[in-house]
Amino acid sequence: MYAVIMAGGRGARFWPRSREKYPKHLLDIISAETILRETVNRITPIVSPDRVFIITGANHAAEVRKQLPELPWKNFLVEPSGKNTAPCIGLAAIHLRKKDREGIMMVLPSDHFIADEKEFIRVLAIAGKAAKRGENLITVGISPGGPETGYGYLERGEKKFTIDGEDIHHVRSVREKPDKNEADMLIRQGGFFWNGGIFIGKVSTFLNAIARWLPDLYRHLVNMEVAPGNKEEETVVNRAYASIIPVSFDYGVMEKADNILMVRGDFGWSDVGSWDALYQVLSKDEHGNSLAGGGVFLNRNSRNSLVHSPHKLVAMVGVEDLIVVDTKDALLICRRSASQEVKNIVELLEQKNLKEYL
């Protein structure tokens, strides 16, 4: 079994903590460790470090390597530029095909929250066994906590088989993020699960699916595979990435393929897609306030707010439902329900060419 951790993306929504050089997975916003570090720690009980691969971008590779010194240098696969998840997964698969074509590859996001790590590992192990049974891609359907509009949904189809007491079902359909009405309907109807962004399958199964549904991408991958492992390989990879069209694995493969199975995951999951989503998973005091990142916090009549201030005393008087994030050079004050709009602040910074804050 191999773990492939996708550590790309920019994470503008965690500005001002996230910056171009410090995307979300490199931040210690959930715990004292970075999210990436926690992700690797979580998987190493079932995958040894020499089988953990990190796919990351050229601009973050140095920092990512620094945070994971126990991984072999060659296990960091560096994309010249971000092309969404399908090319990222393809790059990992084509790399692994050279050494273990029938190996099981578990593709994991680097920046999610998981409350119950034991249950997570148990479910992954079951998914791994399911993947071994044949030419299927296994995904984890998260038991939905409510009609979230921020997640994609998996529709559970007929049962295929049972492993270690867990039923493995066919995935009848993959839905993009729904609007509020549709989300309400999916939850009322039942049989829909959040798409956790985790994919498990044989290396060959991943590549067969890409070859079928994304043949252009597959051609680029094969070009990279046959390049000799030296400086010329870099040139080949750069050239391929210049032509690769960005596409997500969900949209490019999952929505089309009919060999997708799912195992139910119920381990306290969040993709932590915003400061408010982070607030939801953090522990709170009796007034619903979460003091993250250390620092002194004084409260008078303030409730249901997230304060992330590693260095400074913060006093709140009579406020509620706020996100307060203090960094050395920038301060964010945001209504919790508007925390998706933090990315618009990053756009404003770009428009105003305030590069030092990006």
Please count the other Cβ atoms lying within 10 Å of the Cβ belonging to residue 331: 12
CB of 343 to a copy of itself, least distance (A): 10
Pairing of strands 260-265, 137-142: parallel
Q: Distance between CA 171 and CA 138 in Å, rounded? A: 9
Residue (160 or 343) nearer to a copy of itself, CB = 343
Interface positions, 8-67, toward a copy of itself (CB under 8 A): 15-16
Count the residues of the shown chain that bind a copy of itself, applying the rule CB under 8 A.
38
Whether cis (ω within 30° of 0) applies to the bond prior to 49 is: no
* Residue 322 binds a copy of itself (CB under 8 A): yes
- How far, in whole angstroms, is CA 184 from its chain's centroid? 24
Among 143, 234, 348, 350, binds a copy of itself (CB under 8 A): 348
* Residue 278 binds a copy of itself (CB under 8 A): no
Residue with tokens 């060999």: 259
- Which of 283, 331, 272 lies closest to 306, judged by CA? 283
* Residue 188 binds a copy of itself (CB under 8 A): no
Residue (138 or 332) nearer to a copy of itself, CB = 332
* Residue 330 binds a copy of itself (CB under 8 A): yes
Residue (229 or 317) nearer to a copy of itself, CB = 317
Q: Distance between CA 29 and CA 14 in Å, rounded? A: 9
- Which of 318, 339, 323, 328 lies closest to 291, judged by CA? 323
Q: Distance between CA 115 and CA 226 in Å, rounded? A: 41
Among 23-31, 96-104, 254-262, 343-351, the segment contacting a copy of itself (CB under 8 A): 343-351
Please count the other Cβ atoms lying within 10 Å of the Cβ belonging to residue 337: 10
Among 18-26, 35-43, 76-84, 330-338, the segment contacting a copy of itself (CB under 8 A): 330-338
Q: Distance between CA 5 and CA 56 in Å, rounded? A: 9
* Residue 350 binds a copy of itself (CB under 8 A): no
* Residue 332 binds a copy of itself (CB under 8 A): yes
Among 12, 154, 254, 324, binds a copy of itself (CB under 8 A): 324
CB of 13 to a copy of itself, least distance (A): 11
* Residue 331 binds a copy of itself (CB under 8 A): yes
* Residue 285 binds a copy of itself (CB under 8 A): no
Interface positions, 156-185, toward a copy of itself (CB under 8 A): none
Among 79, 111, 271, 326, binds a copy of itself (CB under 8 A): 326
State which amino acid sits at residue 1.
Answer: M
State which amino acid sits at residue 102.
Answer: E
* Residue 354 binds a copy of itself (CB under 8 A): yes
* Residue 315 binds a copy of itself (CB under 8 A): yes
Write out the DSSP string of 189-239: H--EEEEEEEEEEEHHHHHHHHHHH-HHHHHHHHHHHHS-SSHHHHHHHHH
Element (H, E) at 141: strand 137-142
Q: Distance between CA 278 and CA 187 in Å, rounded? A: 23
* Residue 300 binds a copy of itself (CB under 8 A): yes
* Residue 281 binds a copy of itself (CB under 8 A): no
Local structure of 138: helix, strand or coil: strand
Residue 341 has what DSSP assignment? G
CB of 350 to a copy of itself, least distance (A): 11
Residues contributing to the site for a copy of itself (CB under 8 A): 15-16, 296, 298, 300-302, 309, 312-319, 322, 324, 326, 329-335, 337-339, 341-342, 344-345, 348-349, 352, 354, 357
